[in-house]
Structure 1
Amino acid sequence: MTCFKLPVSLCDRIQSALTRYWWDGNDGSRKMAWVSWTKMTQPKAKGSLNFKDFQSFNDAFLAKLSWRLINNPHCLLSRVLKGKYFADETFLTASHKSVESHGWKGLLVGWDLICSNAGWAVGNGESIHVWTDSWLSNTEQLRPMGPAPENQQDLMVAHLLLPDKSDWDREAIRRVIPHEESKILSLKPSRTGAPDKLIWLGTRSGEYTTKLGYRTALERKDNAEANHAGDKFDWQKGVWKLHTVPKIKLFL
């Protein structure tokens, strides 16, 4: 799961084994599954049991491998893949090829998951495109509203910094995107000229973890927010943190 995208049929077989273990009797008799697997994989905070959805878990593992390639472009694996699949571009701009390995297809699955919740922390601004990259917030994906003027299609964040890269150039910001001035000024560019860094949004460290990636993958697959939009009950406080035996919590 950490290297390849598993076939859906294999994930279904693993899920079936867990389903039968959970619902069937000790004597091996096959019994009815009273709750759908989709509901059982939802987090405990939403009133479920937090079983693993294996397709989403697989995607989270692949995203971790893709994250390593992004942050370690000089490692052996990254250099080999670059020579074969994205020689004239970066991994973030890579795409499917007419002839590609199963491993490369899995990496692109991870790449897609990363792109759904990653953003840029401003360093020297030389790697961040003003109009297409998410860089206006460290908690959510935000970019300036377009369309971009024709003469500013290739504008980089570095063009909004002072010549010595020590701080923002307010006149340049007001000339290009004045409506985003307050958001931009709240960001702190690197005073030492450090390169820009891709971060996982909504975390203190900015680092990707399999746990965070799995949560994002599950929400994308099951549309959890829409399914539970009207659920106001606090399951953590009302059930899972009760001072009682585990079997009562499971019953509730």
Structure 2
Amino acid sequence: MHWKNWESLCKPKASGGLGFKDLEAYNLALLGKQLWRMIKKPTSLMARIFKSRYYRNSDPLNAPVGSRPSYTWRSIHAAHKLIQHGARVVIGNGKDTKVWQERWLGTAPVTTVQSVRLRPGQEHDVLSDEMRVSELMEANGRDWRSEKLEKLFTEETMEKILKIRPAGPHSKDTYSWEFTKTGHYTVKSGYWVQTSLLSVQQDN
């Protein structure tokens, strides 16, 4: 007879469980480590091999699983939701970050642009899928173009953008992990996100 289900036993002792590891969540956290390495080290041999096969025109964080994926890629891809929940783009010069598709606004979790301000007669090419964050900046690469922000975004989105301080024209965009002080992904933090945040969302 089973007096407690496995989910209850995997809860921390402070929450009435026995603190056992949720093996599925822990495996995703480990796979997340591999995905994070591919994101942070795009020139590594592993990243270059997968890029040539699965995301030639994208990046590992936004790549689809593709058709007939290998067991390894399918396994790593399973950690996408976990990494996307905590990975944020740190704006450098903004040239590598797409305004509408990347997660670069807000904190924990970071989001894409959620709303825009559309006015009568506004040019459709302004909302191009390929628009880069650098197009929202002044020539010095450190200040935002206020008029353009007011034209494109709602007040809420503008506030989030203005809180960001670009690193300058000579700095490339990079990724940071929201759930550690250092900004580096760890299996421990990934396991916490999977069990404490994502699992709760799935239950609801």
Instruction: Quickly name the TM-score band, shorter chain normalised.
Output: 0.7 to 0.9
Name the SS of the counterpart of 1:198 in structure 2. Answer: strand
AA aligned to 2:17 is S
2:128 to 150, 153, 156: 153
- The answer to whether the 8 A contact 2:89-2:102 is kept is yes
AA aligned to 2:101 is T
Query: Which residue is equivalent to 2:61?
Result: 92
Work out the CA distance in 2 between the residues paired with 1:100 and 1:221: 25
1:166 to 107, 122, 142: 142
AA aligned to 2:136 is L
Label 1:56 to 1:77 Cα distance change in 2 as closer, same or farther (>3 A). Answer: same
Label 1:88 to 1:134 Cα distance change in 2 as closer, same or farther (>3 A). Answer: closer
Label 1:126 to 1:222 Cα distance change in 2 as closer, same or farther (>3 A). Answer: same
- The answer to whether the 8 A contact 1:218-1:224 is kept is no
Give me the CA root mean square deviation. 2.5
CA offsets per residue over residues 92-145 of structure 1, 9 Å max, x none?
Answer: 232223322211111111223212332222111122222232222233323333
Label 1:221 to 1:35 Cα distance change in 2 as closer, same or farther (>3 A). Answer: farther
Label 1:52 to 1:64 Cα distance change in 2 as closer, same or farther (>3 A). Answer: same
Query: Which residue is equivalent to 1:74?
Result: 43
1:109 to 78, 89, 95: 78
Query: Which residue is equivalent to 1:217?
Result: 194
2:110 to 134, 141, 155: 141
Provide structure 2 residue ranges, at least 5 long, that are not aligned to the other structure.
119-123
Is residue 2:163 matched to residue 1:186? yes
Greater Rg by CA? 1
Deviation larger for 97-106 or 57-66: 97-106
Is residue 2:146 matched to residue 1:177? no
Query: Which residue is equivalent to 1:23?
Result: none
1:206 to 163, 176, 183: 183
Provide structure 1 residue ranges, at least 5 long, that are not aligned to the other structure.
1-31, 228-252
Query: Given the two structures, how large is their TM-score scaled by the length of structure 1?
Result: 0.69
Query: Which residue is equivalent to 2:121?
Result: none
Name the SS of the counterpart of 2:160 in structure 1. Answer: helix
Q: CA deviation at 1:39?
A: 0.8
Work out the CA distance in 2 between the residues paired with 1:99 and 1:148: 40
Query: Given the two structures, how large is their TM-score scaled by the length of structure 2?
Result: 0.83
AA aligned to 2:46 is L
